[in-house]
Structure 1
Amino acid sequence: MIKTQKSFEQKNQGTLFLVPTPIGNLEDITFRAVNMLKAVDLIASEDTRNTQKLLNHFKVETPQTSFHEHNSKERTPQLIEKIKAGQSIAQVSDAGMPSISDPGVDLVRAAVDAGITVVPLPGPNAALTALIASGLSPQPFYFLGFLPRKKKDLTAELEELNKRKETLVFYESPHRVKQVVETMQAVYGSERKIVLAREVTKRFEEFIRGTMEEVCEWLSNENIRGEFVIIVEGNEHAETLEDKVWESWTLKEHVSFVMENESLPSKKAIKEVALLRDIPKREVYAAYHELEN
Structure 2
Amino acid sequence: MSKGRLYLIPVPLGQTEAAAVLPQPVLACAQALAHFVAENAKSARAFLKSLPANLPLQQIRIAELNEHTPDSALPRLLEPLLAGNDVGLISEAGCPAVADPGATLVALAHQAGIKVVPMVGPSSILLALMASGLTGQGFTFHGYLPSATQEREKRLRELEKDSKQWQRTQIFIETPYRNRQMLESLLKACAPDTRICLATDLTLDSEQIRTRPVSAWQAQPLPEINRRPTVFLLHA
TM value normalised by structure 2: 0.84
Structure 1 position 202 matched with structure 2 position 204:
yes
Whether the 8 Å contact between 2:179 and 2:227 is mirrored in structure 1 is no
Unpaired runs of 5+ residues, structure 1, are 1-10, 236-293
Query: Which residue of structure 1 lines up, in the alignment, with residue 232 of structure 2?
Result: 230
1:70 aligned residue (68, 79, 89): 68
2:89 aligned residue (82, 88, 91): 91
CA distance in 2, matches of 1:43, 1:49: 12
Over the residues paired in the alignment, what is the CA RMSD in angstroms?
A: 2.2
CA distance in 1, matches of 2:178, 2:216: 18
2:187 aligned residue (185, 204, 218): 185
Whether the 8 Å contact between 2:179 and 2:225 is mirrored in structure 1 is no
Deviation at 1:78, TM superposition (A): 0.5
Whether the 8 Å contact between 2:21 and 2:122 is mirrored in structure 1 is yes
Deviation at 1:219, TM superposition (A): 6.2
2:172 aligned residue (167, 170, 173): 170
Q: 1:223 to 1:108 in 2, by over 3 A?
A: closer
Whether the 8 Å contact between 2:8 and 2:118 is mirrored in structure 1 is yes
Deviation at 1:126, TM superposition (A): 0.8
Deviation at 1:159, TM superposition (A): 3.3
**SS of alignment partner, residue 50 of structure 1:** helix
1:45 aligned residue (38, 49, 56): 38
Structure 1 position 35 matched with structure 2 position 28:
yes
Deviation at 1:89, TM superposition (A): 1.0
Structure 1 position 157 matched with structure 2 position 155:
yes
Structure 1 position 135 matched with structure 2 position 133:
yes
CA distance in 2, matches of 1:19, 1:185: 37
The one-character-per-residue Cα deviations of 1:2-31 (angstroms, maximum 9, x if unpaired) are xxxxxxxxx711121111111133210121
Query: Which residue of structure 2 lines up, in the alignment, with residue 17 of structure 1?
Result: 7
CA distance in 2, matches of 1:105, 1:152: 31
One-letter amino acid of the counterpart of residue 187, structure 1:
A
Q: Rg: which structure is higher?
A: 1
CA distance in 2, matches of 1:74, 1:216: 50
Quick check: 213-222 or 79-88, which moved more? Answer: 213-222
Query: Which residue of structure 1 lines up, in the alignment, with residue 119 of structure 2?
Result: 121
One-letter amino acid of the counterpart of residue 133, structure 1:
A
One-letter amino acid of the counterpart of residue 24, structure 2:
F
Q: Percent of aligned pairs with the same residue?
A: 29
CA distance in 2, matches of 1:180, 1:132: 22
Q: 1:168 to 1:115 in 2, by over 3 A?
A: same
Q: 1:77 to 1:218 in 2, by over 3 A?
A: farther
**More contact order relative to length (CA 8 Å, sep ≥ 6):** 2
One-letter amino acid of the counterpart of residue 213, structure 2:
T
The one-character-per-residue Cα deviations of 1:92-129 (angstroms, maximum 9, x if unpaired) are 00111101122111111111112221111121111111
The one-character-per-residue Cα deviations of 1:236-262 (angstroms, maximum 9, x if unpaired) are xxxxxxxxxxxxxxxxxxxxxxxxxxx
One-letter amino acid of the counterpart of residue 130, structure 1:
A
The one-character-per-residue Cα deviations of 1:173-193 (angstroms, maximum 9, x if unpaired) are 332222223323333213311
Deviation at 1:86, TM superposition (A): 1.5
One-letter amino acid of the counterpart of residue 13, structure 1:
K
4+ runs deviating over 6 angstroms: none
**SS of alignment partner, residue 44 of structure 1:** strand
Query: Which residue of structure 2 lines up, in the alignment, with residue 289 of structure 1?
Result: none
**SS of alignment partner, residue 176 of structure 1:** helix
**SS of alignment partner, residue 163 of structure 1:** helix
CA distance in 2, matches of 1:99, 1:224: 26
CA distance in 1, matches of 2:218, 2:8: 37
